[in-house]
C-alpha cells in the first residue's frame, strides 16, 4: 500500500530490531465487533506483526460507550474514554482506528484526527463512499494517510491489488459479490427453494443479517464498496450518489428457479465497467441482481463468502475470494493497514501510494457515471402468458421491437409452481437498457401477456 523511503546502498541507518524503534501508537474509537477483533489479533500476533512492520504497534487509548465492557476486552493497560474527540486529538496517538461506524459523527472524528496530523485507518465503507472525497483531500493537505482495506470485501486485499498489484493495467471492469448477507440469502433461495422472506429470517437467526437489514438487501452496502473500487480502478472521484442501485427484495423464487433451468444463477453483483466506444465515454457503476452462467466462477461463490473479479488489459481476468464479514476477518485488513502506516516513518507523502490509486493531478473529475438507459448488457425476461402456444408471439414481438433475442423457451413444469401458469423465458443479446425498458413496458399491454414481466440483467463477465 505504501512504499518505504529509498535507502542508500551504503551503511543504511536502520534499527537492529523491531523493538529499537518507538512503537506506532494507536487510538481506537469503538470496541464492538471490529474493534474487539482488532485488539485481539494485535495482542495475539504482536511479535509477528512487529517483525513485519519493523516496529511494534501498541494500542494506547480506546473510546467506548461502556467503559466496563471495554476494560473486559482491552484490560487495564489501555487508557479508556467515552469521548471520541479525545482519542482523535490525543497527543500520544499516531494513528486513529475508526471502528464505530456511521457517517456523520465519524466524519467529524476522522477530519479532526487528520487536522491533528494523525493517520487514519477505517473499515467504514459508508463513511468513505459519502465523504471520502473530502476526507482524502484533507489528508493530502495535512500529509497523512487514510487506509481502508477492510472497507471492501473484508479479508480480501482487493484495494491493494488494484492500487499496487495491477498498477500497470488499464482496468476494463471490476465486478463481484461484495455483500455476504445477500449472497447467503440467494444461496438459500437456490439450494433450498425457500422464498426471500424465509431466507432473510434464516440469515438474521444466524447473525448474517442485522435486525434492520435494509443497507444489505437494498444494495446500498454493495454500492458503497463498488464506488470505492471504481475510483481505484479508473482514477475517478468517488461517485456513490450516481450509482444505480437495485436490491433483492423484489426478487422472486420463481426467477431463481427459471435461471437455473436456463443454466444460470442469480447473484447480487456490484459492477464498474469503463465504456469508451464511439461517443460513449464513461463508467457503468451499478449494483443489481443478475444472472451469471452456472459454469462461471462467481456462480460458485455461496453462503456469506465474497469474490471480486478484475479485467486488466495486460493481466487479463484475476479473481479474489474470501470471507465477506467477521470480527477477526475485518481485523486482518485493519491491522494490515496499520502495518503499512507503521512503515511510513521517514517517507515523504509524495512517495506513498495515493489514497485512490492515482495521484491527485491524474484523477479524472470529468469521467462521468453513465445513466441507466445507457447500460449495455444481455437480459433475461420472464413473461407470463395465457397459453403456452403464445411463446412464438412473444419472441416475434420482441424481435420487432429491436430486442436481439437469443433464446426463447417455456419454463418447465418442475420450475414453475402450480397455479403460476405458462411462463415464457427469454434471453437477449447485449442491448441498451433503454431499449429493454421500452419493450418491457409495451409488452405488459400485449394481449398474450397474463401478468407483470420480470426483467434482470445477464452478466457474462468474459475474459
Question: Which residues are catalytic, by number?
Answer: 225
**Dist CA 148 CA 130 (whole Å):** 14
CB 169 within 8 A of CB 316: no
Burial class (CB in 10 A: 0-12, 13-18, 19+), 71: middle
**Dist CA 400 CA 394 (whole Å):** 10
Q: At what angle do helices 33-44 and 327-342 cross, to 10 degrees?
A: 60
Alpha carbon of 386 to those of 254, 417, 447: distances in Å?
17, 15, 9
How many CB atoms neighbour CB 365 within 10 A? 9
CB 423 within 8 A of CB 458: no
**Dist CA 65 CA 82 (whole Å):** 6
**Alpha carbon of residue 225 to chain centroid:** 3
The SS3 call for residue 277 is strand
**Alpha carbon of residue 153 to chain centroid:** 6
Amino acid at each position: 500500500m505504501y512504499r518505504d523511503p529509498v535507502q542508500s546502498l551504503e551503511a543504511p541507518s536502520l534499527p537492529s530490531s523491531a523493538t529499537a524503534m518507538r512503537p506506532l501508537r494507536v487510538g481506537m474509537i469503538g470496541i464492538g465487533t471490529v474493534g474487539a477483533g482488532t485488539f485481539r489479533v494485535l495482542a495475539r500476533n504482536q511479535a509477528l506483526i512487529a517483525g513485519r512492520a519493523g516496529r511494534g504497534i501498541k494500542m494506547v487509548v480506546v473510546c467506548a460507550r461502556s467503559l466496563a465492557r471495554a476494560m473486559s476486552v482491552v484490560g487495564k493497560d489501555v487508557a479508556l474514554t467515552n469521548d471520541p474527540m479525545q482519542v482523535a486529538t490525543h497527543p500520544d496517538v499516531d494513528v486513529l482506528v475508526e471502528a464505530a461506524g456511521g457517517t456523520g459523527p465519524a466524519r467529524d472524528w476522522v477530519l479532526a484526527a487528520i487536522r491533528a496530523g494523525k493517520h487514519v485507518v477505517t473499515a467504514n465503507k459508508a463513511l468513505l463512499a459519502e465523504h471520502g472525497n473530502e476526507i482524502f483531500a484533507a489528508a493530502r493537505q495535512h500529509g497523512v494517510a487514510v487506509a481502508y482495506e477492510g472497507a471492501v470485501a473484508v479479508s480480501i486485499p482487493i484495494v491493494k491489488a488494484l492500487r499496487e498489484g495491477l498498477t500497470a493495467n488499464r482496468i476494463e471492469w471490476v465486478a463481484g459479490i461484495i455483500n455476504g448477507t445477500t449472497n447467503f440469502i440467494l444461496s438459500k433461495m437456490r439450494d433450498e427453494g425457500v422464498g426471500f422472506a424465509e431466507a432473510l429470517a434464516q440469515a438474521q437467526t444466524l447473525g448474517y443479517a442485522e435486525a434492520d437489514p435494509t443497507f444489505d438487501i437494498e444494495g446500498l452496502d454493495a454500492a458503497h464498496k463498488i464506488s470505492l473500487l471504481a475510483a481505484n480502478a479508473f482514477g475517478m472521484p468517488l461517485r456513490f450518489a450516481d450509482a444505480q442501485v437495485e436490491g433483492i427484495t423484489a426478487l422472486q423464487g420463481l426467477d431463481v428457479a427459471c435461471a437455473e433451468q436456463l443454466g444460470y444463477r442469480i447473484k447480487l453483483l456490484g459492477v464498474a465497467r469503463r465504456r469508451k466506444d464511439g461517443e460513449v465515454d464513461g463508467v457503468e457503476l451499478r449494483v443489481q441482481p443478475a444472472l451469471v452462467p452456472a459454469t462461471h466462477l462467481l456462480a460458485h461463490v455461496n453462503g456469506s463468502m465474497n469474490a471480486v473479479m478484475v479485467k486488466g488489459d495486460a493481466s487479463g481476468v484475476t479473481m479474489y475470494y474470501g470471507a465477506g464479514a467477521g470480527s477477526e476477518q475485518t481485523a486482518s485488513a485493519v491491522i494490515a493497514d496499520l502495518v503499512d502506516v507503521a512503515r511510513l516513518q521517514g517517507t515523504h507523502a509524495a512517495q506513498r501510494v495515493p489514497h485512490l490509486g492515482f495521484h491527485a493531478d491524474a484523477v479524472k473529475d470529468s469521467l462521468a457515471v453513465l445513466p441507466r438507459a445507457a447500460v449495455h448488457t444481455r437480459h433475461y425476461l420472464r413473461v407470463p402468458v395465457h397459453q403456452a402456444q403464445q411463446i412464438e408471439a412473444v419472441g416475434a414481438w420482441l424481435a420487432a421491437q429491436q430486442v436481439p433475442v437469443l433464446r426463447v423457451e417455456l419454463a418447465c413444469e418442475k420450475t414453475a409452481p402450480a397455479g403460476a401458469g405458462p411462463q415464457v423465458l427469454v434471453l437477449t443479446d447485449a442491448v441498451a437498457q433503454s431499449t429493454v425498458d421500452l419493450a418491457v413496458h409495451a409488452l405488459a399491454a400485449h394481449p398474450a401477456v397474463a401478468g407483470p414481466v420480470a426483467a434482470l440483467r445477464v452478466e457474462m463477465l468474459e475474459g
